Homo-oligomer: A and B are copies of this chain.
Amino acid sequence: MTMTKPYVLGVDVGGTNTVFGIVDARGQVVASGSIKTKKHADFDDYVDELHTEVTRLLQANDAEGKIKGIGIGAPNANYYTGEIVNPPNLPWGPVIPLAEKVSKAFDGLPVAVTNDANAAALGEMTYGAARGMKDFIMITLGTGVGSGIVVNGQMVYGHDGNAGELGHLVVKRNNGRVCGCGRTGCLEAYASATGVARTAREFLEIRTEPSMLRSLEIEDITSKDVYDAAVAGDKLAKEIFDYTGKILGEACADMCAFSSPQAIILFGGLAKSGDLLMKPMREAFDNALFPVYKGKIKILISELKESDAAVLGASALGWEAKYQYQANQNLAPVVVPAAAAAENPEK
Seen from chain A, the residues whose Cβ lies within 8 Å of a Cβ on chain B are 133-135, 149, 151-152, 154, 156-166, 168-173, 181-183, 250, 253-255, 257-262, 288, 290-293, 296, 346
Contact = CB atoms under 8 A, between A and B. Distances in A.
Contacts of A291: 181-183
Given A154-B152, A162-B293, A288-B183, A169 B257 contact: yes
Given A162-B293, A296-B346, A346-B296, A259 B156 contact: yes
B158 A259 contact: yes
B259 A290 contact: no
A250 B170 CA distance: 9
Interface SS of chain A: helix, strand, loop or mixed?
loop
Most chain B CB atoms below 10 A, which of A154, A160, A166: A160
Copies of this chain = 2
20 contacts: A135-B158, A135-B159, A149-B258, A151-B158, A152-B157, A157-B260, A158-B259, A162-B293, A164-B260, A165-B260, A165-B290, A165-B292, A168-B290, A169-B254, A169-B257, A170-B253, A170-B254, A182-B291, A183-B291, A258-B258
Contacts of A160: 260, 296
B162 A260 contact: yes
A293 to B, nearest CB: 7
